[in-house]
Amino acid sequence: MFNVVSLEHPTNPTLLFGDDGKPLEFETGPLAAAYCRTLLIKAQPRPKQDDSWRMREQSRFDDGTYKPVSWADETWWIHSEHRKNHFTHLSTAGVGFIAYTETPEKGSADVQNKIRPGRYLEKFFSDILTPNEIRDYATECALLTEQNELFFAKTEDEFEQVYLNGPDSCMAKDVEHFDCPQHPVRIYAAGDLELAYLKRDGDITARALVWGFQPSPWFAHAIKLANELRATGATNESIREALRAAEPKAEYFGPQDPVDIYFNIEAVNEAEQGNLTAVAGAMRELATVPTIRGAAVMPDACPAGTIPVGGVVAAENAIHPGFHSADICCSVAIAVLGNINPKALLDRAMEVTHFGVGGRQQRDQHMPSADVMKRAQENRFLQWHMQQLVSHFATQGDGNHFLFVGQMKSTGQKAIVTHHGSRSPGARLYKQGMEVAERYRAKHAPEVPKGAA
């Protein structure tokens, strides 16, 4: 069996689809070649390779079936070929495991390999990660799959309760078991140690005496530093002080005093006042987000999700996907085209544009420029949606989107006004961007509303 690919951009052959939304398919190469000669674009037959599994795997991330691994935002992973081919995710079939697609053949068969996080990193990344880094990443990933919560006991009572209610050991006995007036573990709470413990579904599942540092990839450096200082004869206290000085300080952003909001709108009746009150409440909440430097409300304002329609904010050094919504770049544009026949202009416009739900069928598709395709292929979010990028290119959409031909009052020249958006690629980009933004919000600004991540 043979498929057909477009060679409009030779470095990025694109599979062509039929009217039924499925890849074009022919029983022999000559039949596929004959079809290619009927096309207005450069195309070529290729032996059939079922890559639809890649779209299936990516869709599982999109709909939340797959959860990303703990190192999903690390640079070494983002630029790795294994990320593009393995679709590595937290296993849905085993606590403490991750899963990945080992080969295209297994991808087509919908078979994923289940493996421990540390074993996976040793197998594929031992050339760029140290053993300590692998251990730390694996530990973080295991915590995600086991859905444990991490706590630290600091007082004598907390130490005793964690030992009495946690895993069994020689010290997990009632005070009557020991020949002393108080539980011996209370001595651990003298001030130089903390007791880290994990809870899952209300039960304490693990514990360990620690110096109170939060687990993170910097532990590889911390352990090396502690061992070097220990070798010089340093005391525990001096080692702790050195580690505190070396510990990366996580940025935390709390709510700010609200910035001023300029209201370019007035209510003239009770209904409009209710609308304005709802809009003002939403904008005042956004005005406390620590990246916002200015805010305004336009005359067309009405409540709508995180930011009202007609709400405008200026953010410093931050991208807030929720402020854009799924229809990224939804906008109105005008092209002034001179003194030409308006009917001919409208007829020509309707020949090349596309209205309605979904994208274009294969016979009507327009290829984006080579530069656009290259940049999309290199984008960590868009590279999985190349087919949608092609099929939705040069489309208007539906709903309140339009194409209008009119005449300029000022000059008499004819113009086209269009209302359009980013279509399916934009919606997919928005969803992935919100997932990344939410991870950062939860870590660095937990008091910021989720929609404003």
Q: For 252-261, what is each residue's pLDDT tens digit? A: 788 899 999 9
Q: Quick one: tokens of 261?
A: 């909001």
Give the confidence band of 293 by pLDDT, cuts at 50, 70, 90.
very high
Q: What percent of the chain shows pLDDT beyond 70?
A: 94
Outline where 25-184 has alpha helix (H): 29-36, 52-62, 75-78, 81-86, 104-108, 117-125, 131-146, 156-165
**Residue 180 pLDDT more than 60?**
yes
Give the confidence band of 299 by pLDDT, cuts at 50, 70, 90.
very high
CB atoms near residue 311 (< 10 Å): 22
Task: Please check whether residue 426 is in contact with residue 328, taking contact to mean a CB–CB distance below 8 angstroms.
Answer: yes
**Residue 434 pLDDT more than 60?**
yes
**Residue 93 pLDDT more than 80?**
no
Give the confidence band of 326 by pLDDT, cuts at 50, 70, 90.
confident
Residue closest to 392 by CA, chosen among 429, 347, 354, 349: 354
140 CB-near residues (< 8 Å, 6+ apart): 70, 71, 215, 216, 217
What's residue 19's pLDDT? 61
Read off the pLDDT of each residue in 70-98 and give the average, rounded to a whole number.
83
Instruction: Quote the CA–CA distance of 337 and 136 in Å, as a whole number.
Output: 61
Q: What angle do CA 89, 90, 91 make, to 5 degrees?
A: 105
Q: Helix-strand-coil percent breakdown of the chain, rounded to 5?
A: 40, 20, 40
Residue closest to 120 by CA, chosen among 150, 136, 97: 97
Task: Please check whether residue 220 is in contact with residue 213, taking contact to mean a CB–CB distance below 8 angstroms.
Answer: no
**Residue 318 pLDDT more than 60?**
yes
Instruction: Quote the CA–CA distance of 16 and 387 in Å, as a whole number.
Output: 9
How much is the CA Rg of the chain, to the nearest whole Å? Answer: 29
What's residue 363's pLDDT? 73
Give the confidence band of 12 by pLDDT, cuts at 50, 70, 90.
low
Q: How far is CA 234 from CA 213, 225, 245, in A?
A: 19, 11, 15
Backbone angles phi, psi at 364, to 5 degrees: -110, 5
What's residue 102's pLDDT? 87
Instruction: Quote the CA–CA distance of 352 and 428 in Å, as a whole number.
Output: 25
Read off the pLDDT of each residue in 395-412 and give the average, rounded to a whole number.
88
Task: Please check whether residue 327 is in contact with residue 335, taking contact to mean a CB–CB distance below 8 angstroms.
Answer: no
What's residue 230's pLDDT? 87
Q: Mind listing the pLDDT tens digit for each residue in 107-158?
A: 888 899 999 999 999 999 988 888 888 888 888 887 776 666 778 888 989 9
What's residue 79's pLDDT? 76
What's residue 215's pLDDT? 63
Instruction: Quote the CA–CA distance of 224 and 242 in Å, as a whole number.
Output: 12
Q: Quick one: tokens of 87?
A: 């679709």
pTM: 0.52
Read off the pLDDT of each residue in 403-429 and give the average, rounded to a whole number.
89
**Residue 67 pLDDT more than 80?**
yes
Which residue would you say has higher pLDDT here, 312 or 19?
312
Give the confidence band of 3 by pLDDT, cuts at 50, 70, 90.
confident
Q: Mind listing the pLDDT tens digit for each residue in 248-281?
A: 776 778 889 999 999 999 999 998 999 999 999 9
What's residue 297's pLDDT? 94
**Residue 9 pLDDT more than 70?**
no
What's residue 277's pLDDT? 93
Q: Quick one: tokens of 53?
A: 């599994």
